[in-house]
Structure 1
């Protein structure tokens, strides 16, 4: 069944239905970038677990300047403590799980994001995890997501629930929990900027209402869509006033004061009756591939593999840890790579194009926020200015972002800035793009803080840029559920590559 399903998918890849001028890339190149985005995020997430919620100083004591052991790559072993013992070697965290929930929702809705369907997936996942992977309920889903899911209106009006929670916390919940999962939404309708933005805002506002979360997700998904179009050097016309007003209206979804109680709908998106009835050739192929790991035999095999990996991970990590040696002087890091002119210009143009989302935002609540002594939240987190956005998106160095600063570890602008800084580096400073990926992700992870989330976003962007085939194979093979993730990727590809166009 497995080989037959992959054969069907190979036929599907040759039947792309979007118009020829939608992208300058070949079908195989688009597929490679889709897979690169998904696997790049999973790799960043899994490697980032090594220093998640540690200080930079603690990470340096444990891992020096790297490398960190992952897959067949030699390096300093994962430090196991109460945070890391929840997972084991090669496993990704809730960050990748949430991107997979979006993928599952897209597969079930013919590639069209549906807010309530995603909310339903999210609720079930919080209760059960991923049964196919023998997952227990997820760890560390974050204060914002947890609070929104407990809201009484979440299942019927997710955007309203997210808005209420945001206001309840004085409009000071600009966390990175939506940014880490939405990169994949740069692929469906990549040729249609308006639809990319709309679906991105739908997914973001399911749990995160803050405008800074909205613009951060949009910057990443539009960046990815432009990479897929292959027109990174082309100048595109400014957004017209009507489109800008639509975007600002979507950002208000869930705000009871604006009489926008209903979540953004999908009425203007193309539909395909045959697909919706689950009777198409594509859906049959997806079902064959998507269910590959759901029978009892495969579930039991995964369970035993999981227990074996847990035991090996804990035993090897708690004993005989090598003491890191810090070279003097330090070898050059990614700050010395310089920025790739094309990637930097593309990033700047996109931020300039969408900064109106922040400049047009005005909420009285921001003037009323008060902080008590010892508060975990620092005042700069309430800064809605364009200056705050630009300072984080274009830091002079990676260290300037202070990613391990306790008061703002999960701040969305820090995560966005880290991802963009890594994405725009000149990759020619290493022997290969795969080596550059490893060096950049490792250096980012050693900055500590919310390292898995920061590296997941950076990994998604870099993975899209270089493609799956150029990701470091020794790391890819180190992902515990690599084969399962590949099947999910192929299932999504089958849907996206056959979706009816406008």
Structure 2
């Protein structure tokens, strides 16, 4: 197991804390990897385990729950550590939701019931191997999370800046060859709107203009979910500044999806994640989800130009029953609001496995619905331990993903520590 997979702690402070913590632990303790994730843990038969992913928080230090001998530096440092596991839960939640959703992607509910009803707990190896599903290995995510990772790579390589032309170039490269270091031969699962946009001769020059032309060609009536499925990372990026989160979400959404409903969907997901990371509407360890949704709606409705359209958006955000969405309806399973509704339905749940399994069994565009639902619910639950052990540990290419996240965290943390300067720059 490589060093990146062993430890996601990126800052010098975190490494120093770990060094001092090791010294204080009994010499009989040994270092081993957890079964759930590839972070290092310190264990002892008599004392249990402590994960690197669970570094001491400010409250822990005060209570001596995790005594450490290093200085805790600043409130910003400790706040970063507190948010870190929540961010991981959202990122892992997206990829896991995508991978488990593949089990029933493009099926209807009757087919999903036929293939999976005998399994009380769904696992990747239960995947029915028809032509469509056989293109992905067991436990692999699909294009939804591939594109999220492309955004993450672009943010990392551009020092945290959102550069639409760089993302556009990465999308084209991925379409042609996928992730070569994973053995891909090309990007799989690309939706028709995205494909038409990427293949346009002027896409790399002005992606927003091309996306608008494609939208107009579709008589301004095509609003697929390709713009929202990849956006969880943009709710994380600059999470402390929700207005900037909105700007980032729109900049990336409009590279391929111009429809206002696509934009409203992307803004909704990103704002929800941003507000949860800010601990908005958070009391006694729980989020007030109805109030959170009200705040999300205030931002997202600005993308729409009529009361009727805004009311429609609100109805999907407030969806109470998954069956209301008719996720497997053949002619509209890729509609952006159906994916949005599934995600915000999941946000109202409290058990990751139960919520995602219900989404799988409702079929339709289940990998996309699962990706958005997993990102939102993972962020709400606040820790990747809430994700089923087998789904996370058997996620294909997880070591590779951890390396991408670690590099991004270096940028994100540096940006967070200098956030006041960034806020001034945007005014």
What TM-score do you get using the length of structure 2 for normalisation? 0.79
1:342 is matched with which residue: 283, 288, 307? 288
Q: How many residues align?
A: 358
Measure how far apart 1:360 and its partner are.
5.3
Quick one: structure 1 residues 65 and 446, their matched pair in 2 at CA, closer, same or farther if it must change by over 3 Å? Answer: farther
User: For 2:138 and 2:323, how far apart are their aligned partners in 1?
Assistant: 27
Residues 12 and 494 of structure 1 are in contact (CA less than 8 Å); yes or no, is this contact kept in structure 2?
A: no
1:457 is matched with which residue: 366, 372, 380? 372
By relative contact order (CA 8 Å, sep 6+), the higher-ranking structure is 1
Runs of 4+ in 1 over 3 A off after TM superposition: 1-8, 12-15, 19-23, 65-69
Measure how far apart 1:3 and its partner are.
3.5
Measure how far apart 1:22 and its partner are.
7.8
- Superposed CA deviations along residues 372-425 of structure 1, whole A, max 9, x for unmatched, are xxxxxxxxxxxx622221222222411110000011010000100110011112
User: For 1:7 and 1:357, how far apart are their aligned partners in 2?
Assistant: 37
Q: Within the alignment, does 1:88 sit opposite 2:137 as a pair?
A: yes
Q: Within the alignment, does 1:443 sit opposite 2:328 as a pair?
A: no
Q: Within the alignment, does 1:153 sit opposite 2:202 as a pair?
A: yes
Residues 280 and 292 of structure 2 are in contact (CA less than 8 Å); yes or no, is this contact kept in structure 1?
A: no
Structure 1 match to 2:394: 478
Structure 1 match to 2:155: 106
Residues 404 and 450 of structure 1 are in contact (CA less than 8 Å); yes or no, is this contact kept in structure 2?
A: yes
Structure 1 match to 2:110: 57
SS at match of 1:387: helix
Quick one: structure 1 residues 351 and 7, their matched pair in 2 at CA, closer, same or farther if it must change by over 3 Å? Answer: closer
Q: Within the alignment, does 1:352 sit opposite 2:352 as a pair?
A: no
Q: Within the alignment, does 1:493 sit opposite 2:409 as a pair?
A: yes
Residues 54 and 449 of structure 1 are in contact (CA less than 8 Å); yes or no, is this contact kept in structure 2?
A: yes
Structure 1 match to 2:39: none
Q: Within the alignment, does 1:11 sit opposite 2:12 as a pair?
A: yes
Measure how far apart 1:229 and its partner are.
1.0
Structure 2 match to 1:213: 262
Residues 68 and 78 of structure 1 are in contact (CA less than 8 Å); yes or no, is this contact kept in structure 2?
A: no
Measure how far apart 1:110 and its partner are.
0.9
Measure how far apart 1:190 and its partner are.
1.3
Quick one: structure 1 residues 8 and 408, their matched pair in 2 at CA, closer, same or farther if it must change by over 3 Å? Answer: closer
Structure 1 match to 2:60: none
Pairing of 1:75-224 with structure 2 (within 5 A): 77-224=126-273
Q: Within the alignment, does 1:423 sit opposite 2:369 as a pair?
A: no
- Superposed CA deviations along residues 122-169 of structure 1, whole A, max 9, x for unmatched, are 000000100111112122200110010111210010000000000001
SS at match of 2:376: helix
Measure how far apart 1:119 and its partner are.
0.3
Q: Within the alignment, does 1:397 sit opposite 2:321 as a pair?
A: yes
User: What is the RMSD computed on CA atoms of the aligned residues?
Assistant: 2.5
Residues 267 and 299 of structure 2 are in contact (CA less than 8 Å); yes or no, is this contact kept in structure 1?
A: no
Measure how far apart 1:233 and its partner are.
4.3
Structure 1 match to 2:26: none
Residues 9 and 15 of structure 2 are in contact (CA less than 8 Å); yes or no, is this contact kept in structure 1?
A: no
SS at match of 1:498: helix
Structure 2 match to 1:259: none
Residues 182 and 217 of structure 1 are in contact (CA less than 8 Å); yes or no, is this contact kept in structure 2?
A: yes
Structure 1 match to 2:24: none
Residues 154 and 163 of structure 2 are in contact (CA less than 8 Å); yes or no, is this contact kept in structure 1?
A: yes
User: For 2:118 and 2:313, how far apart are their aligned partners in 1?
Assistant: 29
Structure 1 match to 2:41: none
User: For 1:90 and 1:126, how far apart are their aligned partners in 2?
Assistant: 21
User: For 2:279 and 2:2, how far apart are their aligned partners in 1?
Assistant: 33
Measure how far apart 1:343 and its partner are.
1.6
User: For 1:422 and 1:158, how far apart are their aligned partners in 2?
Assistant: 32
- Superposed CA deviations along residues 460-489 of structure 1, whole A, max 9, x for unmatched, are 111112222332222101101111111111
Quick one: structure 1 residues 13 and 209, their matched pair in 2 at CA, closer, same or farther if it must change by over 3 Å? Answer: farther
What TM-score do you get using the length of structure 1 for normalisation? 0.67
User: For 2:236 and 2:294, how far apart are their aligned partners in 1?
Assistant: 21
Structure 2 match to 1:412: 336
Quick one: structure 1 residues 493 and 411, their matched pair in 2 at CA, closer, same or farther if it must change by over 3 Å? Answer: same
User: For 2:226 and 2:159, how far apart are their aligned partners in 1?
Assistant: 25
User: For 2:120 and 2:170, how far apart are their aligned partners in 1?
Assistant: 36
Quick one: structure 1 residues 126 and 68, their matched pair in 2 at CA, closer, same or farther if it must change by over 3 Å? Answer: farther
Quick one: structure 1 residues 84 and 30, their matched pair in 2 at CA, closer, same or farther if it must change by over 3 Å? Answer: same
Structure 1 match to 2:55: none
User: For 2:87 and 2:200, how far apart are their aligned partners in 1?
Assistant: 34
User: For 1:356 and 1:37, how far apart are their aligned partners in 2?
Assistant: 25
Quick one: structure 1 residues 423 and 396, their matched pair in 2 at CA, closer, same or farther if it must change by over 3 Å? Answer: closer
